[in-house]
Chains A and B, each alone.
Chain A
Amino acid sequence: MKELFPAKQVLGFAFSLVLTVIALAVYFLDMSFQTGMTILLVTAFVQAGVQLTVFMHAGETDDKGAIYLNVYYGLIIALVTIFGTLLAMVWDM
Chain B
Amino acid sequence: MKIDHSLPLEYSTDQNQYNILGFWIFLGAEIMLFATLFATYFTLANRTGSGPSGAEIFEITPVLIETLLLLTSSFTIGLGIHAMRLGNKKAMLSFFSITLLLGLAFLGVEIYEFIHYVHVGAGIQTSAFTSILLTTLGTHGAHVTLGLFWGLFIILQVKKRGLTPQTANKSFIFSLYWHFLDVVWIFIFSFIYLKGMM
Contacts and interface: CB of A to CB of B under 8 A. Distances in A.
A87 to B, nearest CB: 11
B96 interface: no
Contact of B194 (A3, A5, A17, A24): A24
Interface of A: 3-6, 9, 12-13, 16-17, 20, 23-24, 26-27, 31, 33, 36-37, 40-41, 43-44, 47-48, 51-52, 54-57, 61, 63, 66-67, 70-71, 73-75, 77-79, 81-82, 84-86, 89-90
B6 to A, nearest CB: 11
Q: Is the interface of B mostly helix, strand, loop or mixed?
A: helix
Contacts of B79: 4-6, 9
Interface residues of B, number: 53
B67 A85 contact: no
Interface string B30-41: 111011101110
B106 interface: no
Interface in B34-59: 34-36, 38-40, 42-43
Interface of B: 7, 11, 17, 20-21, 24-25, 27-32, 34-36, 38-40, 42-43, 60, 64, 67-68, 71-72, 74-75, 77-79, 81-83, 86, 88, 91, 175-176, 179-180, 182-183, 186-187, 189-191, 194-195, 197-198
Given A70-B28, A74-B28, A90-B42, A47 B186 contact: yes
Contacts of A57: 81
B78 A55 contact: yes
Q: Is the interface of A mostly helix, strand, loop or mixed?
A: helix
Given A20-B67, A40-B190, A86-B39, 7 more contacts: A6-B79, A13-B75, A48-B187, A55-B75, A56-B179, A74-B29, A85-B40
